[in-house]
A and B are shown apart, each in its own frame.
Chain A
């Protein structure tokens, strides 16, 4: 069986062959950003809050995608890094009085280090074994956060309540609107960073390891270093998402970060498209809105409806939204320009 079948990731489309497709994707991207920027002006605060959460999960999924889609390592434990990021923000704000904006780089740094260190021993593990190890991390995290030695900082089972920031410089925005725009800017910056990374020497090294680790080494790629770095960067993205999540929800507690969160991020990754960076937004939307849709449909059977939606989606687009977009783009591309190669 072809290795591509098990992990249907999509690397960035080549620039000049796909002139049309890339252009179209570029315009679509711009349109999406414009819509995202305009949305909160027309919506109620609760919906704005939901959209903010969508962006936050998108950031977390973007991080997971760098690890899984780009570098080919699995994680069922990214909720743990999200939790570390969230607690970092909460503790720095409430115990040390740090301004919320500064908690993001702090959370990113701490999660980078945690991810890198976790990635080092995990180097020996492949595929499902790595998934199992990360699963252990996710399961252990809530218990760890409840430890009584850490209670002076973590607040134990009670968790930490965070004050919600106001819009700065007297901007005429509600708190929710402000946090939405703040998150949107962070998300765009991180997306830019991730896209640059994927198109760079480091990104190619990560993808080379994913596609053929042996050949990558023969080309001079230090697999161990890059795989650990991928874990670190991935955890940093997810940690920054966690910090934003803490600020937006104004509360952290151990049971907000159970294994279910890790699974949700993984589901979001697959639904959005493994290896397709923009898919993170689709994944984020799925995490936030599909449970609500399921509930609207039938409150008592919400879980079952959610499951059925998930099954249908995976059957209809087995390579996630990314695969679907690519197929459509390929189709349109062929229609618009006869291919020069036979």
Chain B
């Protein structure tokens, strides 16, 4: 169901801002982005906008270029051409490690845990960009370092409760069940306090119940935490039920964009998914 155009989104701080999706500046603009690996064109002139407070589903068959686009957004890859604007400013001049501080967080297609750290410490690393310390004050336990640490602990405790990780918070990541790890990585990405959250196949490897849970969680993240979500997912029910808009890629090209119902009815999309995408 498409959501109304004018709505209020509760922010974490408690204030409510009116949000006019069509009139406001898009949070993210992908402008004619291409990426080539040697001969392979992984992305070929992709453009779309993502507005604040929306969930945008990015779908496409295997190898369509979804992860490649994510890697451009987190600056692991640099597009061969085109530009990516976040809040109106190009991100292409930024280092990968400086994406978190402007509010872009992500999870990974396959798990990317800090496996020897506890769940709590994993989430704490997510909050890395939310305080500034240096090794000297950390080693000497200077007062401002302890203050920063307490603040981080507050953030982390809230997320542990939010994602129901309390019973495993102090266990090392290695050895925890898959679904728990995915939740922990979600908490870690939320600890960045992202404006934009990139979720790369969050449902992969989850069972039916867990996927239902995930769908509700994504919507709660959007509504309660004012996080805009770019969701890559193969699980169609999930994508269609949580997305406000859907973009479809095939062989590096955008073949369709629109609301979930429209996209599902598009014959080109159906062809791509039936495997006869390229004649």
Contact = CB atoms under 8 A, between A and B. Distances in A.
Given A211-B114, A212-B112, A200 B139 contact: yes
Interface residues of B, number: 46
Interface string B195-212: 000000000000000000
A122 interface: no
A208 B117 contact: yes
Nearest to A3: B115
Contact of B192 (A17, A196, A219): A219
B121 A204 contact: yes
B116 A196 contact: no
B117 A11 contact: yes
B125 A196 contact: no
A222 interface: yes
Contacts of B115: 3-4, 211-212
Contacts of A275: 116
B164 interface: no
Given A208-B114, A212-B114, A215-B112, A221 B128 contact: yes
Interface size class of A (residues with CB under 8 A): 35 or more
Given A15-B170, A208-B117, A221 B139 contact: no
Contacts of B98: 220, 222
Contacts of A205: 125, 128
A222 B134 CA distance: 12
B227 to A, nearest CB: 16
Interface in A154-213: 193-194, 196-197, 200-205, 207-208, 210-212
Contacts of A194: 139
A293 to B, nearest CB: 33
Contact of B112 (A204, A207, A210, A214): A214
28 contacts: A4-B115, A10-B116, A11-B172, A14-B171, A15-B170, A196-B138, A196-B140, A200-B133, A201-B131, A201-B138, A201-B149, A202-B134, A205-B128, A207-B116, A207-B121, A208-B117, A208-B125, A211-B115, A217-B76, A218-B106, A218-B108, A219-B100, A219-B125, A219-B188, A220-B97, A220-B99, A220-B100, A223-B97
